[in-house]
């Protein structure tokens, strides 16, 4: 593409960073604006299963696949399913050499992508509050209430997650509550300090399910385990509670899971630190927009869906494919045609599937069953709550 386009990415999450990496590999300069002050400003979430056809394909395009494999945990593909009485219903292990969906901590993957970029690519502490399309096809990100520090770009990419500040330039859609909440907890040095939890989770992921409630454990690296206490109910399930009052939250959750086996209730009783409330939000399906020259979206900004194991993979694939489209086409408009014509239908298909999976996994009933249809197993993993960057 000539002359070299001016490209800005809003959000230093996985999709935005892999997009920047692929562009730089092909000599296209890019600026990434990130609201966080530095890479260590906040925790990056749990573990991700990186699929060979989506996330791994993106990492190959970025020239980072071998480094990803060195960090990944193929043994983390192990899955266990229990009922609420702690009876093991199903136990799947990856075959020797199976690299179809190895696990990696989100923070490790993000660090790998950041290290691959040219120094100064990410402008930390630069939130984007809005984006304005300009005559001639350019776009202007706004960082402050005045425009004195603004720059214009030929392409602004919204990779800024669920509550994207770029999305309103394209779409009036806003995320809505999906009817399901995850409450996150953690266990540190699990094999030594929490052997019961270590036995439940094994080397990968476990889920215990009954009706509209489930308990999920995921092993991360370095002896850490994250728990996701997941249930269908109102967004204000915690009404009257101070969410910072760990013991009060614990008591409310224990009441919700009354009758579950004591080994499973240890997930609620023995966690290290407090609880983090994470209601699920989704965008309408399908979510699309009328073309606005010089602006597009990827990842959760474009297709926020229930976290059933596909969101991070799609964000990575979006980022790599968008970068490739920019590299391969003579104009930004042609690049966006090529990218959006593939990304939007794919996102809609995956979002419909994710919503069906959520309905199956979290039905609006208290029926005591722990059946995961084969079409959901083991792809029905929780990859951790969607992270919003930018």
Q: Is 305 exposed, middle or buried (0-12, 13-18, 19+ CB in 10 A)?
A: buried
| Model pLDDT, residue 381 | 38
Q: What is the DSSP letter of 385?
A: P
Q: In 3-state terms, what secondary structure has residue 331?
A: coil
Neighbouring-strand partners of residue 210:
213
Angle between helices 14-25 and 311-328 (to 10 degrees): 30
Confidence (pLDDT) at 12: 97
Q: The dihedral of CA 115, 204, 180, 238: what is its sign?
A: negative
CB distance 194 to 269 below 8 Å:
no
If you ran DSSP here, which 8-state letter would residue 73 be given?
Answer: B
- What is the structure's pLDDT at 379? 39
Which residue has tokens 């197993």? Answer: 377
Strand partners, 181: 231, 279
Average pLDDT along the chain, 390 residues, taken 10 residues at a time: 84 98 97 94 86 97 98 95 95 91 96 98 96 95 73 97 98 97 97 97 95 96 96 96 97 97 98 97 97 97 94 97 97 97 97 93 73 44 36
Candidates 134, 9, 116; CA nearest to 66 is: 116
33: β partners: 10, 123
pLDDT value at residue 145: 58
- The beta strands (E) that lie in 199-356 are given as 205-210, 213-219, 225-232, 272-282, 295-297
Q: Give the gyration radius of the chain's Cα atoms.
A: 21
Q: How far apart are CA 37 and CA 35, in angstroms?
A: 6
**205-210/79-82 β-pairing:** parallel
How distant, in Å, are the alpha carbons of 1, 67, 73, 213, 315 from that of 26? 11, 19, 30, 47, 20
pLDDT of residue 383: 38
CA 361, CA 3: separation in Å to the nearest integer?
Answer: 50
Given a contact cutoff of 8 angstroms between Cβ atoms, the answer to whether 212 and 366 are in contact is yes
DSSP code of 5?
P
In the structure encoding, which two tokens stand for residue 88, read together? 């093991």
Element (H, E) at 261: none
Q: What is the largest CA-CA distance in the chain?
A: 66
The SS3 assignment for 345 reads helix
Q: Where are the domains positioned within the chain?
A: 7-74+101-174+283-361
| CATH architecture, domain 7-74+101-174+283-361 | 3-Layer(bba) Sandwich (3.50)
pTM, rounded to two decimals? 0.92
């Amino acid at each position: 593409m000539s002359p070299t386009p001016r490209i800005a990415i809003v959000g230093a999450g996985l999709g935005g960073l892999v997009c920047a990496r692929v562009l730089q590999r092909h000599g296209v300069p890019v600026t990434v604006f990130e609201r966080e002050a530095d890479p260590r400003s906040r925790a990056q979430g749990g573990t991700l299963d990186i699929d060979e056809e989506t996330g791994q394909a993106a990492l190959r395009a970025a020239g980072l696949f071998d480094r990803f494999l060195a960090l990944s945990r193929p043994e983390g593909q192990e899955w266990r399913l229990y009922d609420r009485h702690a009876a093991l219903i199903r136990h799947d292990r990856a075959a020797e050499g199976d690299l179809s969906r190895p696990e990696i901590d989100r923070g490790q993957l993000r660090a790998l992508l950041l290290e691959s970029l040219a120094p100064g690519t990410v402008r930390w502490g630069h939130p984007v509050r809005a984006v304005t399309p300009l005559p001639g096809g350019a776009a202007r990100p706004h960082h402050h209430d005045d425009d004195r520090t603004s720059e214009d770009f030929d392409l602004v990419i919204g990779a800024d997650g669920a509550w994207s500040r770029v999305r309103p330039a394209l779409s009036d859609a806003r995320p809505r509550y999906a009817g399901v909440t995850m409450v996150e907890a953690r266990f540190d040095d699990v094999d030594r300090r929490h052997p019961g939890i270590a036995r439940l989770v094994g080397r990968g992921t476990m889920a215990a399910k009954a009706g509209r409630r489930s308990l999920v454990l995921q092993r991360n690296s370095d002896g850490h385990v994250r728990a996701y206490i997941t249930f269908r109910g109102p967004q204000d399930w915690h009404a009257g509670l101070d969410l910072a009052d760990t013991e009060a939250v614990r008591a409310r959750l224990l009441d919700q899971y009354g009758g579950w086996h004591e080994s499973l209730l240890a997930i609620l009783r023995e966690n290290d630190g407090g609880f983090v409330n994470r209601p699920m939000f989704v965008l309408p399906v399908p979510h699309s927009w009328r073309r606005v020259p010089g602006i597009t979206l990827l990842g959760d900004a474009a297709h926020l869906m229930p976290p059933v194991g596909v969101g991070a993979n799609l964000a990575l694939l979006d980022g790599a494919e968008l970068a490739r489209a920019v590299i391969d086409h003579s104009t930004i408009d042609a690049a966006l045609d090529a990218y959006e014509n593939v990304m939007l239908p794919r996102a809609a298909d995956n979002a419909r599937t994710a919503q069906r999976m959520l309905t199956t996994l979290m039905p609006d009933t208290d029926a005591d069953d722990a059946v995961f249809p084969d079409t959901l197993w083991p792809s029905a993993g929780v990859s951790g709550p969607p992270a919003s960057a930018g």
